[in-house]
Amino acid sequence: MSTWSGIRNKLESDYLCPALRGRIQYFATSYWESHDQTGRAAIRLDGVEVLRSNYYAYEQNYWNRYQALRREGVGEDDPKAPFRMAHEGTLNDGCFDNIFFYEAFHEFDNQSIEKSLTSENPLVRVFALLDRRLGKRRLLALEESMEQELDWVRAFYVIRMQAEGLMEKE
């Protein structure tokens, strides 16, 4: 599936747990007239964007992190380290662009739910938390590991738990 409509259909129809069908919508777009056809991506719950990011937010966050790492002297031994660390930090902040969203889907779509739940990519872990293959018992068993999870990933765990009736709404 290389088209956005195919990816969205697969995420919302094939993978999404029944408790969230019709409530979760995935969104990604490219702006044809922008540099390199950049764009934005989002995940909506009941029409409200719970997670959203775009190329420009990603680039600004990335550049600021990269500059700070260079000022700290990171990269003297490994010149690629500040680039890698800036990307990881930016992603951990929940900043990414639409291309990264597609790459995360491709990883998720081509591996088991177990691998997706432990992926280094937090967006893949979000897809896994909303996946129908993740049962209630396994969802409950993840509670302790969610304490160490990124805030924006943990938010999707809470959404899923509430949708399944395993946690009261706050």
Q: How sure is the predictor about 37, in pLDDT bands with cuts at 50, 70 and 90? A: low
What are the C-alpha distances in Å from 147 to residues 24, 97, 122, 161?
23, 26, 14, 14
For 142, residues 6+ apart whose C-beta sits below 8 A from its C-beta are 117, 129, 157
Instruction: Tell me which of 35 and 150 has the higher pLDDT.
Output: 150
- Region 95-110 average pLDDT: 90
CB-based contact 82:69 (threshold 8 Å) = yes
pLDDT of amino acid 34: 65
Indicate whether 100 pLDDT > 90. no
The b-or-e profile of 124-142 (16+ CB within 10 A means b, else e) is bbbbbbbbeebeeeebeeb
- SS3 category, 95: coil
Q: How sure is the predictor about 138, in pLDDT bands with cuts at 50, 70 and 90? A: very high
- Rounded Cα gap, residues 15 and 6, in angstroms: 12
Indicate whether 76 pLDDT > 90. no
Record the pTM.
0.90
Nearest to 121 by CA among 146, 91, 159, 151: 91
pLDDT of amino acid 111: 97
- Rounded Cα gap, residues 152 and 170, in angstroms: 16
pLDDT of amino acid 35: 65
